[in-house]
Chains A and B, each alone.
Chain A
Amino acid sequence: MNHRHRPLSAAAVDGLLLDTSPYLSCDDCFDRLDTYVEQILADPSRVDVAMQVHLKGCGACAEEAEALLDLLTS
């Protein structure tokens, strides 16, 4: 019988080691999401580190941000 680790994909390793500082909660992300999306649409070069880090680290919030962006531009 073998004892082995569950496989870790490269994406899982990246996700596990992601630096999600500065911390922003999902609730805070949601509070800022409408303003953030409008600002990004007005100025794609705009930097909002806390929001951008959170959206990299939280798949659900990122998907919802993309959906809102898509809705505003559809």
Chain B
Amino acid sequence: MSLVQGGMAEIGTPSDEPWVRDLTDPGPPGHLAQRSLHDLLLRATRHQVWRLRSQLPGAGPADLEDLAQEAADDALVAVLGRLATFESRSRFSTWVYKFGVLHAGVAVRRQAWRHREVTLSDTFDVTDDSPAPEGLVQAGDLSRAVHAAIDSVLTPHQRRVTLALLVDQVPIDVLAERLNTNRNALYKTLHDARARLRASLQATGHLDESSPRSAP
């Protein structure tokens, strides 16, 4: 099922547990409630780590379990820190799960890229002395226009971020960590860069304004 286009599925029906109201209790009931919360988070982090395990080809079951446990620990701190912001717009368990999924996803992507270099370049050209592949020599008009727009309308920072994320496929969390920034800031940079590229290509007639999300 696609979240973008919708599809057919049903929500499971487990109800939220009574221990939730004990989470802020400073005594034994609170400790028990936090253990239950950790169990809930662990379900989400295990699920996400196993979903993404292909990104960690050298990791065995014990490694994946360690990653899931660490992510659940981190997510527990995050949930407890934002407990007051829960507004019951969804089930508590769904709200909790999203923290587990987030922390596990970030952990897997960072682990997968731990030993990989991220080369940030604000130039789009490469130089080599090998014959250029036929496909590159015969690059289409749209591709050439995109290249030109990247070179001419993006700032150096926008080029570095955009090329790393969309051409070199560096995960946004990994790039954020290497640049000492956050996902929000990088996505905003990407959003602004895309708007500049679209405006440039629309001005040159390479992009149809009436079809705002696709090339003509």
Contact = CB atoms under 8 A, between A and B. Distances in A.
B9 A41 contact: yes
B105 A2 contact: no
B6 interface: yes
Interface string A1-45: 111111110001111111111010111001001111110111011
Secondary structure of the B contact surface, majority rule = helix
B204 interface: no
Interface in A22-74: 23, 25-27, 30, 33-38, 40-42, 44-46, 52, 55-60, 62-74
Interface string B48-91: 10011000000000000000000000000000000000000111
Nearest to A6: B126
Interface of B: 1, 3-4, 6-12, 43-44, 47-48, 51-52, 89-91, 94-95, 97-98, 101-102, 105, 109, 124-133, 135-136, 139, 142-143, 146-147, 150, 162-163, 166-167, 171-173, 183-184, 187-188, 190-191, 194-195, 197-198, 201, 207, 212-215
A58 B184 CA distance: 10
Given A7-B136, A17-B146, A57-B190, A64 B98 contact: yes
18 contacts: A4-B126, A6-B167, A13-B142, A13-B215, A16-B166, A17-B197, A19-B194, A34-B94, A34-B98, A35-B90, A42-B11, A52-B4, A58-B172, A64-B101, A67-B101, A68-B101, A69-B3, A73-B11
Given A2-B130, A8-B143, A58-B187, 17 more contacts: A4-B127, A5-B136, A7-B136, A15-B166, A16-B194, A16-B197, A17-B197, A17-B198, A21-B195, A33-B98, A34-B94, A44-B1, A55-B4, A57-B191, A60-B171, A71-B44, A73-B11
Given A19-B198, A40-B3, A74-B47, A3 B94 contact: no
Secondary structure of the A contact surface, majority rule = helix
Nearest to A29: B187
A8 to B, nearest CB: 5
